Homo-oligomer: A and B are copies of this chain.
Amino acid sequence: MSERLVGIDVGGTKMLAVAIDRSRPSEVLAIQSRPTPSTAKAVVEAVSDLAREMELEGHLGVGLAGLVADGEVLRSAPNLQCMIDVPVRTLLVEDLGCSVVIDNDATCALLAEMTVGVARGVDDVVLVTLGTGIGGGVAIDGSVRRGAHGFAGEPGHMCLDPNGPRCVCGRNGCWERYASGAGVVWLAQQRGVNIDHNGQAITAEALATMARAGDADSLAIWGEFADWLALGLANLADVLDPELFVVGGGLVDVSDLYIDRTRERFVESVLGGRARTRTRIEPALSGSSAGAIGAALLN
């Protein structure tokens, strides 16, 4: 029997909604995206609107970029600060009159990849989402691990340099300052690349377009991005030694620009790298939709 599931991934920059069928979750029936508003009220309204446009049938799953406590609110969300301590689940239930489950966005992406993606059948997996910031999810022995407060798997705020650039979380040199959408822009700015060919403020998308056109600066920036991505994955491997790293989030759509170099640099960056023959680094099979698909699968 077919059952329509709707999931919405609320990131720091954009929201992505999908509808899938529970019996064929790898097949996306409908998809839509819009920018993330900057106030809690507008975010809740936008989620409700998107859910209705996806022809919601009784159940909504929402992934949010931040630390979700008690399945109800965000306790910390450097890239979604307007939503902190907002009773988002309750507000959506009131608005839509259906059951709503919320979870961390990257945990949703991990669920999707474990169900219909590259992590199917893999026991020890770490997924990182490269979007505005870096999110993450950790599975050990085939189960998602959430930790003592449900905050496990937030590697974006691992410190990689206490004297590094100021992070949106208030600390310095967090991994997401380098290896995220905002990070690649910062890396570009460090090289004096501040605008794209149209004179607009530089973006990850523009840097990808420029790199594909052979622009030497842009190619070097993606190389540096790969080095930082590898460094953080190496830190995670030092701790967890997973079989598989899955790279998801918006930047997975341009993973061809950095994935090979990331793999090479990972081996050099992790203790005993050459002996780690079983660790793979793969792009999310669901691409940048993994978070929304996983949100749809929440229940």
Contacts and interface: CB of A to CB of B under 8 A. Distances in A.
A105 interface: no
A119 to B, nearest CB: 13
Contacts of A160: 159-162
Interface stretch (A13-21, A49-57, A184-192, A232-240): A232-240
27 contacts: A67-B275, A69-B275, A75-B272, A76-B272, A124-B147, A136-B239, A147-B241, A147-B242, A148-B243, A148-B278, A148-B279, A149-B275, A149-B276, A149-B277, A149-B278, A151-B272, A152-B240, A153-B239, A153-B241, A154-B238, A154-B241, A154-B271, A158-B238, A159-B231, A160-B160, A161-B163, A239-B240
Contacts of A276: 148-149, 151
Contacts of A87: none
Interface residues on A, range: 35 or more
Contacts of A148: 124, 241-243, 276, 278-279
B238 A235 contact: no
Enumerate the 9 nearest inter-chain pairs by beta-carbon distance, A residue then B residue, closest first: A147-B241, A76-B272, A152-B241, A157-B271, A148-B243, A75-B275, A158-B235, A151-B241, A148-B278
Contact of A272 (B67, B163, B272): B67
Given A124-B148, A149-B276, A159-B269, 6 more contacts: A146-B241, A149-B279, A152-B239, A157-B271, A158-B235, A160-B162
Nearest to A160: B159
Contacts of A159: 160, 231, 234-235, 269
Interface of A: 67, 69, 75-76, 78, 124, 136, 138, 140-141, 145-163, 169, 171, 173, 231, 234-243, 269-272, 275-279
Contacts of A149: 241, 272, 275-279
Contacts of A235: 158-159, 235
Contacts of A136: 239
A76 B136 CA distance: 28
Residue among A140, A234, A240 having the largest count of chain B Cβ atoms under 10 Å? A240
Nearest to A227: B162
A124 B160 CA distance: 24
Contacts of A141: 145
Contact of A150 (B146, B147, B156, B241): B241
A16 to B, nearest CB: 23
A241 B239 CA distance: 13
A267 to B, nearest CB: 12
